[in-house]
Amino acid sequence: MGINHTEEQNMLKDMVAPFLAENAPIKHLRNLRDTDDKTGFSRPLWKQFAELGLTGILIPETEGGLGLGHVEAGIVLEEIGRNLTPSPFLTTAVAGAEALKNASAEMRGNWYPKIASGDAIIGLAIDESSKHRPQAVELIAERLGNGFRLNGSKQFVLHGHVADVLLVSARTSGATDEEAGISLFAIARDTKGIEVQTDRLVDSQISARIKFENVELNADAIIGDIDCGWVPLQRLLNAGRIGAAAEMLGVGGGAMDITFEYLKTRKQFDHLIGEFQALQHRAAHLYGEMEGARAIVLKAQHLLDDDDSRAELFVAAAKAKAGLAANLAVREGVQMHGGVGMTDEYDIGLYMKRDRALAEFFGDINFQANRVALLNGY
Amino acid sequence: MTNLETFRTETRAWLEANCPKEMRSSSNTEQDFCWGGRKWVFTCPAQKQWLEVMAAKGWTVPDWPVAYGGGGLSSEETKILKHEMFKLGCRSPLNSFGIWMLGPALLKFGTEEQKKHYLPQIARGEIRWCQGYSEPGAGSDLVSLQTFGADMGDHWLVNGQKVWTSYADQADWIFCLVRTDKNDKYRGISFLLFDMETKGVTTKPIKLISGSSPFCETFFDDVKVPKHQIVGELNRGWDVAKYLLGHEREMISGGGLGDGLASLGAAHEEVLVQEPMLRAQMAMFDIESMTFRAHSEKFLDEWKSGKAHPAYSNLMKYIGTELNKKRHELIMAVGGSDALEWESEASNQGSKPRSWLRTKANSIEGGTSEVMLNVVAKRILEMPGG
């Protein structure tokens, strides 16, 4: 069996693509931005996601979800990227739902139905500095009676200000930068001692900086085993990375398509600018980069779904490659649009902004390349 | 057990029993590859034996029909055979332009007589073929070729010159593009086959920057070619040539695959510990290399199911050859001054610098990178202009 989409997967795309193009095209993003919406995404739209089953895409069928995999989640994410739809899909339905697979039956029973129904949003509180270093956890979780007490801070928590539950990495033993000794907790955002500051990002999404001051938890807030949070965290990160990569396929693909369309309609020197070889070669090169990115993202999604031992390596390479290709697409897009590419009126700049945010999310190109080197043994 | 599992088990057992030990190590020098043909001198008895047992089974061309000397295997079975050969380290029994290029064109355009005559010879490695395409004035702009075949009734009288003819001095026969109508640029070219020993054919090797001479200049002076040695219709040789170039591009783009699944960085771990900037470049290369493998896998699936764009092999040729050049730049960088040695025992007579220089032709031969990008822009992206 190859890595190309199956008939069923094509049907999913045929459902999701028109749904988002009709209900959440780029003007949907502009509208939220221009009305200074404080949620950062549309709750009615999220409810529609739930009605289509998409919020439960990775949740097992036996627990009320669709029981699909990363290939299918990627199909949705690519369309989200193409339409620049502001949505908690990646954080909640993909990375968050994936991490919860390692949670207790009780915790899953609590959150999965709410995620599937569109009533719960997950915030991922895993970064403590401006660059993604998931093992560098300084937020402390001390034993307190039968539970824990947390002190520390996190940043770049997308949708954190409206999240119902936060997945928080905390140090329960070991030194900073050690994978061992990290534990992962699921914490209701309204827990006492949690202070949230919101910031609007370059791509108009809303992110949070979160302080944890003597936040007290019961022992059952932990996901998986104590000191072994790296296991569910890796699960979260792999899902998040390949998900972000799939979204970047949509961002880069959307940017590329409107740019090629522009080359075929804009005239200068009495010629369509797409007739000029200088631009044709760059366009063809860009197309090749995006096609390669699509292939390795698909490959990594399949390996992840098959629980293959090479999945982590391919996920890192895919996030890096999708980042490289989408970045080229938005840079070439603005340049080839010329002056109008710098205006807010044209969409190409919005693609550039989302790409920048996705590039940092779950680790940038350099971070992923370093992972590739380490996993390859050098 | 499914049929395919049975096939895998039987294939592995057959390979273990029939592939000589000497043919199970990776090939290091040009001489380790068997190219066959009338002039071929086998490097060892095992090389001859390996070719003969594989040819007898039809496995030098596993997916060709049995009637033409092939193995008659399905694409799944062919994949399994290649995978099992890879796992046991079996060398390819036969490298051949006949297999990679002419054969597929004959299967598509040849007459039944031509298929029965030429294909089994190709499969057995009896005839070594060379390709007569480029001319001094017709490189990227191939349709400007001037070599002319005058219609003499029962034969063509061919006069002209070809250049960059791979291994012409070692080849037995040539497949050659010849102008048969001077009034139509595209529809005035025919695809002819003839023996390199025919009176009037001479070759002269060209020495390259790598020091080797895999290419020749080839001259035709009143060469008589019988009429039945045309492939496809008169004046429609360009269709055959284009089809064949698609296969050539597939083959050359495979160069970017390097040696199978290995990470280039992993092979040079000790050096990279001391060289952080080089390590970073290696990691970026590994990403590109993994990408190309996934891309090839995806493309081949689409190609086989007929869903790929007909011009897509141009894109793969561009990406694969540029990647292979990058790969050899990095091998040279990692090798440092050791990799500068051109004539020494330790360097296996300069295999690294010679290979590095050889790869510079990858993005020129079989259509330059620039021509590939032109084709992708016009045919796939449908950019405007003539």
Report CB contact under 8 Å: A274, B287: no
Token duo for residue B286? 């590994």
Report d(CA A66, CA A303) in Å as an integer: 20
Nearest to B150 by CA among B117, B118, B188, B123: B188
User: A122-158 burial, b if ≥16 CB within 10 A, otherwise e?
Assistant: bbbbbbbeeebebbbbebebeeeeeebbbbbebbbbb
Question: For B158, left (φ over 0), alpha (ψ -120 to 50), or beta?
Answer: beta
Q: In this structure, are strands A182-188 and A222-223 parallel, antiparallel, or unpaired?
A: antiparallel
- Tell which of B263, B287, B363 to mutate to test the A interface (max A CBs under 10 Å): B287
* Residues of chain B scoring pLDDT < 50: 255-260
Res. A135 pLDDT band, cuts 50 70 90:
very high
Share of chain A above pLDDT 70, in %: 100
Report CB contact under 8 Å: B295, A292: yes
Supply the pLDDT for residue B249.
Answer: 67
Task: Tell the burial category of A370 from Cβ atoms under 10 Å away from its Cβ (0-12, 13-18, 19+).
Answer: middle
Q: What is the mean pLDDT of chain A?
A: 97
Supply the pLDDT for residue B256.
Answer: 45
Q: Domain extents for chain B?
A: 3-102, 129-235, 240-380
Supply the pLDDT for residue B252.
Answer: 56
CA dist B50 to B27, B61, B82, B114, B259, Å? Answer: 14, 14, 15, 27, 21
pLDDT at A330 over 50: yes
Supply the pLDDT for residue B251.
Answer: 62
Q: Distance (Å) from the C-alpha of residue A339 to the closest C-alpha of chain B?
A: 21
pLDDT at A69 over 50: yes
Report d(CA A119, CA A108) in Å as an integer: 14
Q: Which residues contact B277 (CB under 8 A, 6 or more apart)?
A: none
Report CB contact under 8 Å: A298, B292: no
Supply the pLDDT for residue A156.
Answer: 98
Candidate from A119-123, A199-203, B87-91, B373-377 with smallest mean pLDDT = B87-91
Report d(CA B149, CA B172) in Å as an integer: 20
Q: Find out if CATH 1.10.1040.10 is the number for domain B129-235.
A: no
3-class secondary structure, B192: strand
Pick A377's closest partner by Cβ from B269, B280, B295. Answer: B269
Chain A residues whose CB is inside 8 A of the B272 CB are 373, 378
CA B195 to chain centre: 20
Supply the pLDDT for residue B29.
Answer: 65
Q: Give the fold, CATH level 3, of B240-380.
A: Butyryl-CoA Dehydrogenase, subunit A; domain 3 (1.20.140)
Pick A373's closest partner by Cβ from B282, B380, B385. Answer: B282
Domains of chain A in start order, with CATH, are: 7-120 (1.10.540.10), 123-227 (2.40.110.10), 231-375 (1.20.140.10)
Report d(CA A296, CA A92) in Å as an integer: 24
Q: Give rounded-to-5 percent helix, strand, coil for chain B.
A: 50, 15, 35
Chain B residues whose CB is inside 8 A of the A271 CB are 385
**Which residue, chain included where needed, has tokens 């020098």?**
B29
Supply the pLDDT for residue A356.
Answer: 98
Supply the pLDDT for residue B253.
Answer: 56
Tell me the residues of B at the A interface, defined by beta carbons under 8 Å apart: 263, 265-266, 268-269, 272-273, 279-280, 282-284, 286-288, 290-292, 294-295, 297-299, 301-302, 307, 315, 318-319, 370, 372-374, 376-378, 380-385
User: B19-51 burial, b if ≥16 CB within 10 A, otherwise e?
Assistant: bbeebbeeeeeeeeebbbbeebeeeeebbebbb
CA dist A337 to A206, A272, A281, A372, B48, Å? Answer: 28, 13, 16, 35, 61
Share of chain A above pLDDT 90, in %: 99
Q: Where is pLDDT greater, at B251 or A353?
A: A353
Report CB contact under 8 Å: B377, A275: no
Report CB contact under 8 Å: A376, B374: no
The CATH code that applies to domain B3-102 is: 1.10.540
Report CB contact under 8 Å: A378, B265: yes
Nearest CA in chain B to A291: B295
Res. A233 pLDDT band, cuts 50 70 90:
very high
pLDDT at A182 over 70: yes
Res. A329 pLDDT band, cuts 50 70 90:
very high
Q: Distance (Å) from the C-alpha of residue B108 to the closest C-alpha of chain A?
A: 26
Q: Distance (Å) from the C-alpha of residue B325 to the closest C-alpha of chain A?
A: 16
Stretch 196-255 of chain A: residues touching chain B, C-beta under 8 Å:
none
Residue B134: its H or E element = none
pTM of the model: 0.88
Supply the pLDDT for residue A152.
Answer: 98
